[in-house]
């Protein structure tokens, strides 16, 4: 190590360098001490470095860094919380943006439940609180844990912090033995203003809006800090229960209120669509005077047995929706248009804006969607914004709704600079120079460079390690970019040989900037943990166009094992023949997705890369729902004709829950045809193939629900 220069001898440049070095060393020491429980330097040396840092800052106050160690206590909080696995997943909500979306929500529910358009159907409507959700678990009336939503499956353990919130009871009388209460933690406008004023006075961190303040306050490692922050809680939902709370949503909320929880006073029961929209308008009018942020109105089916029948899509309930308030708007200057290249090669134009505050958040980038959008046309060639195009230098209207990426809504032509030119969308990839082409019917121009395009390769890798995919701890977007840049990881398979190549020897991971012995070992262990991977996750991680998380899981359940799936893809590679028909027969797989899938596995380049990857993996077979004793587990079932006791969607969901595969067409692989009145060609084909055929009552008797 170079000898340290006395503080009073340092030149300005040397001081700046030294502050950077100290910030890095102290950060490493903090991480080692607080997160890894493995201090790397002695306490005395730590104190000496800290004192030296302070002395340099005192001599050159203007060189003090934003990440100055003298401002920091402990280590980054995210690592500091324990994890809690939710016994019942925490869901999010689908969105409706206008009355038509709400009407569609109502129609879909009626259809699913088999109710006529005029049949009575009650909903509840209540404000959508703009805070963060929290799940509170009570056992025998005592609060035992509190967890944030996290990724819906696993959240952070914030029990001690939750206990400091006045609205959260520590004990309940007359509650079910197991009761998980869910709701929103939020901060009122008045408390938010006061907190920011106090923080500013002390030179501490101020918050952009009440929601950030609530999140920052709840997720404190020290519960005493949370206690000093005025947080509140509204209960609106529940997780695990040892006995039902009521028969209706309204009744359940009344019960939670009787148990001592705050519930929102604007919650109301509504009869049908018109009533919902009327209550929405009423809440929107009151919005500005509520004293806390809300960003829409949540509608829920009132009858809990209907909620049970409707169930969930992958992350949202079918029985609820959030009707969002219109977006917030602001005008600003468009300074430049940049092109970003995504994982599938899509060239996405991004607007760089003169920063402007929109609804309390500073916005400096917005999406421009695609070249048609910039030119003033929609996907079908019709005019949008009255045909006005968007040019660099234009005065543009920015809007944002909730957490979504801000968009550009309008252009003010009266303020257009005289020399502004129509935007020339690139026809070559700005990252690799390959041709960027637009396929017929596609709104998006794509780079044809495939994996030779560094932008695509990196984006694919980032997707590969993302949360819903391989989710490797310690290997996020930033690390992937670094490893890619240095040539250590070029494709997913390289992740699994990283230790072999860089665990020992001259060029070791632990010697790299930002890595140490402990973090390198942790990374290698985290990678090893993912050598076993569920089929659905692996497929999703490959980032094949049109094949999202839900489709990946559907395919995994359908084919069961990876080997079966690969055989099927090989069999379907010409987009013809029985395997191709079988793939298309899967309810939820359309032709576009099927082609994308088959092509990905048939292209030599991509296939070899996938095979190199799977050579390092054990792919877990798709977990089927617990179907022990189910008479239809593993059977391929087709429904045809009219069903009278349930809708087709409900029949399908029930069959899948019992482990059956539901297909839309009859083939030699079909085990059972359920035929209602009016069944036609499918029944005929089944008869020809000798497939067992039963009617709806037969089906209900079979699954034990006659
Ligand atoms: S119900 C299974 N009701 O909105 C349904 N959510 O965008 C659970 N939220 O994650 C949610 N106010 O954090 C529900 N009155 C309300 C809500 C509400 C705010 C939040 C919640 C959820 C998010 C979805």
Q: Which of 389, 415, 441 is the last residue of a domain?
A: 415
CA dist., res. 591 & res. 583, Å (int): 9
Q: Based on the domain organization, do 615 and 642 belong to the same domain?
A: no
Residue 40, pLDDT > 80, answer: no
- 685 lies in a domain? yes
CA dist., res. 406 & res. 552, Å (int): 29
CA of 627 to the centre of ligand 1 (A): 31
CA distances to 153, 278, 318, 449, 477 from 197, rounded to whole Å, are: 36, 38, 42, 52, 35
- 438 lies in a domain? no
Q: Based on the domain organization, do 170 and 318 belong to the same domain?
A: yes
What pLDDT sits at residue 76? 39
- What residues flank ligand 1, with Cβ below 6 Å? 91-93, 126, 128-129, 133, 184, 236-237, 298, 317, 320, 322
What pLDDT sits at residue 324? 92
Write out pLDDT tens, residues 66-107: 778 776 654 433 457 889 999 999 999 999 989 999 999 999
Q: Please tell me the residue having the least CA distance from ligand 1 atom 15.
A: 128
Give the E-state strand segments of 302-346 in sequence order. 320-324, 328-341
**Residue range of the domain that includes 458:** 450-530
What is the C-alpha radius of gyration for the chain, rounded to an integer number of angstroms?
A: 29
Q: Report the number of distinct structural domains present in the chain.
A: 6
Helix (H, G, I), strand (E, B) or coil at 234: strand
pLDDT tier at 402, thresholds 50, 70, 90: low
69-83, 128-142, 662-676: which is most confident: 128-142
Closest ligand 1 atom number to CA of residue 320: 5
Q: Which of 499, 530, 561 is the last residue of a domain?
A: 530
* Test site for ligand 1: of 89, 91, 93, most ligand atoms within 8 A of the Cβ: 93
DSSP secondary structure letters along 487-526: TS-SSHHHHTTHHHHHSSSSS-GGGSTT--HHHHHHHHHH
* Test site for ligand 1: of 317, 320, 322, 324, most ligand atoms within 8 A of the Cβ: 322
CA dist., res. 508 & res. 515, Å (int): 10
Residue 57, pLDDT > 50, answer: yes
% of the chain with per-residue pLDDT over 70: 94
Nearest 5°: the CA angle 605, 609, 610 is 115
Determine the average pLDDT of the residues in 180-196. 94
What pLDDT sits at residue 77? 34
Determine the average pLDDT of the residues in 177-186. 98
pLDDT tier at 477, thresholds 50, 70, 90: very high
Q: Please tell me the residue having the least CA distance from ligand 1 atom 21.
A: 133
Q: Please tell me the residue having the least CA distance from ligand 1 atom 16.
A: 128
- 544 lies in a domain? yes
Q: What is the mean pLDDT of the chain?
A: 90
Write out pLDDT tens, residues 623-649: 666 777 788 988 899 999 888 888 888
CA of 540 to the centre of ligand 1 (A): 27
Closest ligand 1 atom number to CA of residue 130: 19
* Test site for ligand 1: of 136, 150, 184, most ligand atoms within 8 A of the Cβ: 184
Closest ligand 1 atom number to CA of residue 322: 7
144: tokens are 């035992």
Q: Based on the domain organization, do 152 and 228 belong to the same domain?
A: yes
pLDDT tier at 30, thresholds 50, 70, 90: low
Q: Based on the domain organization, do 509 and 389 belong to the same domain?
A: no
CA of 588 to the centre of ligand 1 (A): 27
What pLDDT sits at residue 34? 47
Active site residue 128: yes
Q: Please tell me the residue having the least CA distance from ligand 1 atom 23.
A: 92
* Test site for ligand 1: of 149, 236, 287, 313, most ligand atoms within 8 A of the Cβ: 236
Determine the average pLDDT of the residues in 223-239. 94
Q: Based on the domain organization, do 283 and 207 belong to the same domain?
A: yes
What pLDDT sits at residue 32? 60
Q: Based on the domain organization, do 362 and 223 belong to the same domain?
A: no
What pLDDT sits at residue 37? 43
CATH code of 655's domain: 3.40.50.10190
CATH code of 539's domain: 1.10.150.20
CA of 238 to the centre of ligand 1 (A): 11
CA of 152 to the centre of ligand 1 (A): 12
Write out pLDDT tens, residues 427-438: 999 999 999 999
Residues with Cβ < 8 Å from 413, sequence gap 6 or more? 388
- 427 lies in a domain? no
Q: Based on the domain organization, do 245 and 97 belong to the same domain?
A: yes
Q: Which of 530, 546, 580 is the last residue of a domain?
A: 530
- 2 lies in a domain? no
CA of 322 to the centre of ligand 1 (A): 8
What pLDDT sits at residue 409? 86
Q: Please tell me the residue having the least CA distance from ligand 1 atom 13.
A: 133
CA of 294 to the centre of ligand 1 (A): 11
Q: Please tell me the residue having the least CA distance from ligand 1 atom 3.
A: 236
CA of 539 to the centre of ligand 1 (A): 30
Q: Based on the domain organization, do 281 and 165 belong to the same domain?
A: yes
What pLDDT sits at residue 396? 96
* Cβ atoms 489, 611 nearer than 8 A: no
Q: Between 41 and 186, where is the model more confident?
A: 186
Q: Please tell me the residue having the least CA distance from ligand 1 atom 2.
A: 91
CA of 142 to the centre of ligand 1 (A): 24
Q: Based on the domain organization, do 63 and 131 belong to the same domain?
A: no
Q: Based on the domain organization, do 557 and 673 belong to the same domain?
A: no
Q: Between 462 and 204, where is the model more confident?
A: 462
- 434 lies in a domain? no
673: β partners: 638, 693
User: Which is the catalytic residue, given 50, 83, 111, 128?
Assistant: 128
Q: Please tell me the residue having the least CA distance from ligand 1 atom 17.
A: 128
Q: Based on the domain organization, do 305 and 170 belong to the same domain?
A: yes
Among 72-76, 562-566, 586-590, name the one with the lowest average pLDDT: 72-76
- Tokens 């296939």: give the residue: 607
What pLDDT sits at residue 287? 85
Determine the average pLDDT of the residues in 119-126. 97
What pLDDT sits at residue 2? 46
pLDDT tier at 530, thresholds 50, 70, 90: very high
Closest ligand 1 atom number to CA of residue 264: 15
Write down the pTM of the prediction. Answer: 0.55
- 425 lies in a domain? no
DSSP conformational letter for 377: B
496: tokens are 């699994």
CA of 128 to the centre of ligand 1 (A): 6
Q: Based on the domain organization, do 683 and 558 belong to the same domain?
A: no
- 426 lies in a domain? no
Determine the average pLDDT of the residues in 316-325. 95
Residues with Cβ < 8 Å from 533, sequence gap 6 or more? 470, 541, 617, 618, 619, 620
pLDDT tier at 404, thresholds 50, 70, 90: low
* Test site for ligand 1: of 128, 155, 211, most ligand atoms within 8 A of the Cβ: 128
């Amino acid at each position: 190590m170079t000898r340290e220069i006395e503080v009073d001898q340092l030149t300005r440049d040397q001081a700046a360098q030294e502050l950077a070095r100290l910030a890095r060393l102290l950060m490493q020491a903090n991480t080692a001490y607080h997160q890894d429980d493995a201090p790397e330097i002695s306490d005395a040396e730590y104190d000496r470095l800290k004192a030296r840092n302070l002395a340099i800052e005192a001599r050159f106050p203007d060189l003090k860094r934003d990440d100055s160690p003298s401002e920091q206590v402990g280590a980054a909080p995210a690592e500091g919380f324990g994890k809690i696995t939710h016994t019942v997943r925490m869901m999010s909500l689908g969105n409706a943006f206008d009355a038509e979306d709400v009407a569609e929500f109502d129609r879909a529910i009626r259809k699913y439940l088999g109710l006529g358009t005029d049949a009575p159907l009650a909903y509840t409507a209540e404000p959508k609180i703009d805070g963060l959700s929290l799940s509170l678990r009570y056992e025998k009336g005592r609060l035992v844990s509190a967890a944030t939503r996290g990724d819906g499956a696993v959240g952070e353990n914030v029990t001690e912090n939750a206990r400091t919130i006045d609205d959260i009871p520590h004990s309940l009388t007359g509650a079910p033995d197991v009761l998980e209460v869910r709701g929103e933690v939020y901060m009122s406008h008045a408390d938010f203003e006061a907190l920011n004023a106090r923080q500013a006075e002390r030179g501490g961190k101020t918050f952009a809006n009440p929601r950030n303040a609530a999140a920052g306050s709840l997720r404190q490692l020290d519960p005493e800090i949370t206690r000093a922050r005025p947080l509140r809680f509204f209960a609106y939902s529940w997780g695990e229960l040892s006995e039902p709370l009521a028969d209706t949503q309204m009744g359940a909320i009344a019960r939670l209120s009787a148990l001592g929880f705050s519930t929102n006073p604007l919650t109301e029961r509504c009869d049908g669509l018109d009533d919902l929209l009327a209550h929405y308008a009423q809440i929107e009018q009151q919005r500005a005077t509520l004293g806390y942020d809300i960003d829409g109105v949540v509608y829920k089916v009132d009858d809990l047995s209907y909620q049970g029948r409707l169930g969930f899509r992958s992350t949202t309930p079918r029985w609820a929706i959030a009707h969002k308030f219109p977006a917030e708007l602001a005008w600003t200057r468009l300074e430049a248009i940049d092109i970003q290249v995504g994982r599938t090669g899509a060239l996405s134009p991004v607007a760089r804006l003169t920063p402007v505050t929109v609804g309390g958040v500073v916005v400096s980038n917005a999406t421009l969607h695609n070249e048609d959008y910039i030119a003033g046309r929609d996907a079908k060639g019709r005019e949008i914004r009255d045909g006005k195009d968007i040019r660099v230098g234009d005065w543009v209207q920015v809007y944002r709704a909730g957490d979504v990426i801000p968009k550009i809504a309008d252009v003010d032509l009266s303020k257009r600079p005289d020399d502004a030119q129509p935007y020339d969308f690139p026809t070559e990839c700005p990252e690799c120079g390959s041709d960027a082409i637009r396929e017929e019917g596609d709104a998006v121009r794509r780079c044809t460079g495939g994996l030779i395009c560094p932008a695509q390769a990196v984006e694919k890798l980032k997707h590969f390690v993302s949360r819903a995919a391989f989710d490797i701890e310690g290997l996020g977007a930033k690390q992937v970019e670094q490893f890619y840049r240095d040539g250590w990881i070029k494709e997913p398979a390289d992740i699994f040989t990283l230790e072999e190549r860089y665990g020992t020897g001259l060029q070791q991971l632990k010697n790299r900037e930002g890595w140490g012995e402990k973090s390198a070992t942790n990374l290698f262990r985290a990678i090893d943990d993912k050598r076993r991977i569920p089929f659905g996750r692996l497929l999703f991680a490959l980032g094949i166009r049109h094949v999202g998380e839900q489709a990946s899981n559907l395919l995994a359940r359908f084919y069961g094992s990876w080997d079966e799936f690969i055989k099927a893809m090989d069999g379907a590679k010409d987009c013809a023949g029985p395997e191709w028909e079988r793939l298309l027969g899967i309810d939820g797989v359309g032709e576009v997705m099927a082609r994308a899938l088959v092509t990905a596995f048939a292209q030599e380049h991509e296939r070899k890369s996938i095979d190199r990857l799977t050579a390092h993996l054990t792919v877990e077979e798709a977990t089927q729902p617990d179907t022990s004793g189910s008479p239809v587990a593993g059977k391929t079932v087709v429904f045809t004709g009219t069903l009278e006791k349930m809708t087709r969607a409900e029949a399908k969901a029930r069959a899948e829950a019992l482990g059956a595969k539901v297909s839309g067409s009859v083939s030699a692989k079909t085990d059972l045809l359920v035929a209602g009145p009016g069944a036609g060609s499918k029944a005929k084909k089944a008869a020809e193939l000798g497939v067992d055929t039963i009617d709806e009552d037969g089906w209900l008797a079979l699954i034990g629900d006659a």
